Amino acid sequence: MNLVESLRAHRLLAIVRGKDPAAALRTVTTLAEEGIAAAEVSLTTADALTVIRRARAALGPDAPVGAGTVRTTEDAERAVDAGASYLVTPAVVEGLAGVGVPVLMGALTPSEIERALALGAAAIKLFPASLGGPEYLSALRAPFPEVPFVPVGGVDAAAARDHLDRGATAVGVGSPLIGDAADGGDLGRLSARAAQFRAAIAQETV
C-alpha cells in the first residue's frame, strides 16, 4: 500500500488498544462501519495478532489495518504475517526496512526525524504531539516542508482539526476516540465519538 496516500485520504488513524481481543475486533469493525477505516491495532492489545488477522479477514485485503507499538524486527515480522499492511512505531526503530510494508515511525526532535527518514520511514509519527502542540508542528514544517507528519498523543477532536490546519497529513487518535470500547465498553458511545471526530476532520479551514 502507499501509506502516505492512504493517510491523506483518511486523515484520521484510529489507535486501538485494549484488554479484550473480541472487543478490540468489534472496535475496529465498528469504526470502519462509521467511516473511520484506517486503524492501528497496538501490539500491547491482548492477543493483538489474532485481532489483526481477524480484522483483515473481516474487512478485506485492501483495508488500511496496521500494527502499532512495533519496537523490534520480530514484532514487525509477526505483525506482517498476521496481515498488517503497515507498521507504526513509538520511536525510531532500526531494522524495519526489509519487512515489506511501509512504516509510520515515531519521532519527536529534528534529529530523530532525520534518523527515521534515513531508515526508510514513509511518514513520521510526531509523538507525543501533546508535548509541543500544533505550534510545534508548525515549527517543524519550516525545515521539513515535504515530510508527512502524523501527530499522535493527546489529540482530541479540536486538536485534530488544528493539527490538520497546520499541515499534518493525518492525525492518530487513541483514547479520545476509542474510550473503553476495546475493553468491552459501549459501542454506541464509540459511534458517537466517531461521528464527532469525522465532523471535526471534515471542517474546512476558515
Residues annotated as catalytic (active site), given as ranges:
40, 125
In this structure, what is the dihedral angle of CA atoms 193, 194, 196, 198, given to the nearest 10 degrees? 170
H-helix segments, 11-72: 21-33, 48-59
Say how far apart CA 86 and CA 190 lie, in whole Å. 24
- In sign, the C-alpha dihedral spanning 26, 60, 177, 190 is negative
The answer to whether 56 and 83 have CB atoms below 8 angstroms apart is yes
The single-letter DSSP state of residue 71 is: -
The answer to whether 19 and 183 have CB atoms below 8 angstroms apart is yes
In this structure, what is the dihedral angle of CA atoms 135, 157, 31, 85, given to the nearest 10 degrees? 0
